[in-house]
Amino acid sequence: MRFGVVVFPGTWSDCDFHYVISEVLHQPVKYVWHRDRELADFDCLVLPGGFSYGDYLRAGAVAGRSPVVEALPAFVAGGGVVLGSCNGFQILCEAGLLPGALMRNECLQYRCQSTHLLVENAETVFTRATRPGQVLAMPISHGEGKYHVDAETLAALRRRNQIVFRYCTPEGQVTRAANPNGSLDNIAGVVNEEGTVLGLMPHPERAAESALGGTDGLVIFHSLLGSLVEDGSFLKR
Of 86, 93, 120, 144, which one is the catalytic site residue? Answer: 86
**DSSP codes, 133-177:** T-EEEEEEEES--EEE--HHHHHHHHHTT-EEEEEE-TTS---ST
- H/E element, 197: strand 197-200
Which residues, numbered 100-119, are part of the site for other proteins (CB under 8 A)? Answer: 100-101, 103-106, 108
Map residues 150-169 to x or -, x wherever contact with other proteins holds by CB under 8 A: x-------------------
Q: Which is nearer to other proteins, 188 or 207 (CB)?
A: 188
The interface with other proteins within residues 1-40 (CB under 8 A) comprises none
Do residues 35 and 66 touch, judged by C-beta distance below 8 A? yes
Is 98 in contact with 190 (CB distance < 8 Å)? yes
Binding mask 40-79 for other proteins (x = CB under 8 A): -----------------xx--xx--x--------------
From the CB of 174, what's the least distance to other proteins, in Å? 20
Nearest approach, Cβ of residue 150 and other proteins (Å): 7
Instruction: Write down the least CB distance from residue 66 to other proteins, Å.
Output: 12
Give the end-to-end CA distance of the chain in Å, rounded to a whole number. Answer: 18
Least Å distance between CB 100 and other proteins?
7
